[in-house]
Copies of this chain bind each other. A is one copy, B any other.
Amino acid sequence: MKMEDFGPVKEAPNNIFWHKGRISRHERECILGQKGIVLWFTGLSGSGKSTLANAVAEKLNAQGKLTYTLDGDNLRHGLNKDLGFTVAERMENIRRTGEVSRLLVDAGLIVLAAFISPLREDRAQLRQMLGRDYIEVYVDCDLAICEARDPKNLYRKARAGEIEEFTGISSPYEKPENPELIVHTDQESFEECVGKIISYLERYFEQG
């Protein structure tokens, strides 16, 4: 192998170099026939984030689109399994998930990320990290309804003091101020919510 075979490298601090990949995101998107994007579902536990994300993924899959669903709980089994639930660890959990989303969207995928992500600061960081690829979907649902649903039995445990700092009960959920999309799972039907998201995506992709 000759020296010239080595690709161009750009020097950076700490002797870390950036190798320009030979395949661009655009080339990958052409192979896929789609555009990469991140739909970030934020909302209370029990608001329906993961359920909606999975339903949207199913619709897109039926159209031959490549999606990937990221879920707070799932990532905590792998990439983020070293992280607990302190404020700093929750922030790191969101940061890493944002970075993984950035890789997946660069790979050309439609990423569906379902995370409570209660803090404006964290979501602002995601928006900065992902830029135009970040579409915030606020899954709005009244706390009383989420608590009545309680699909994971977590509200009951939080009320019993078995879970500390549970969003909506003992730690705040800061409502999004300018989400790209809002769905009201306590007022609209499941089909209406999914349809709204799919329509948004179709318009987004048409705009190019």
Q: Which residues of A contact B (CB under 8 A)?
A: 1-3, 5-7, 9, 11-12, 15-19, 21-23, 27-28, 31-32, 48, 50-51, 54-55, 57-58, 61, 64-71, 73-74, 76-79, 82, 92, 96, 99-100, 102-104, 106-109, 141, 149, 151-154, 157, 163, 185-186, 189-190, 193
Contact = CB atoms under 8 A, between A and B. Distances in A.
Interface of A is mostly: mixed
Contacts of A151: 3, 6, 9
A63 to B, nearest CB: 10
A126 B28 CA distance: 26
A71 B102 CA distance: 15
Given A19-B73, A66-B28, A5 B79 contact: no
B19 A74 contact: yes
B154 A15 contact: yes
Contacts of A108: 66
Contact of A21 (B12, B57, B153): B57
Contacts of A104: 103-104, 107
Contacts of A102: 78
B73 A99 contact: no
A107 B77 contact: no
Contact of A7 (B15, B17, B50, B82): B50
Given A19-B74, A23-B57, A28-B68, 14 more contacts: A1-B48, A1-B186, A5-B51, A7-B51, A7-B54, A12-B73, A15-B152, A15-B157, A21-B69, A21-B71, A23-B67, A68-B107, A78-B103, A100-B100
Contacts of A18: 73-74, 77
Contacts of A2: 190
A71 B149 CA distance: 44
B16 A76 contact: yes
B23 A61 contact: yes
A82 B83 CA distance: 14
Contacts of A154: 15
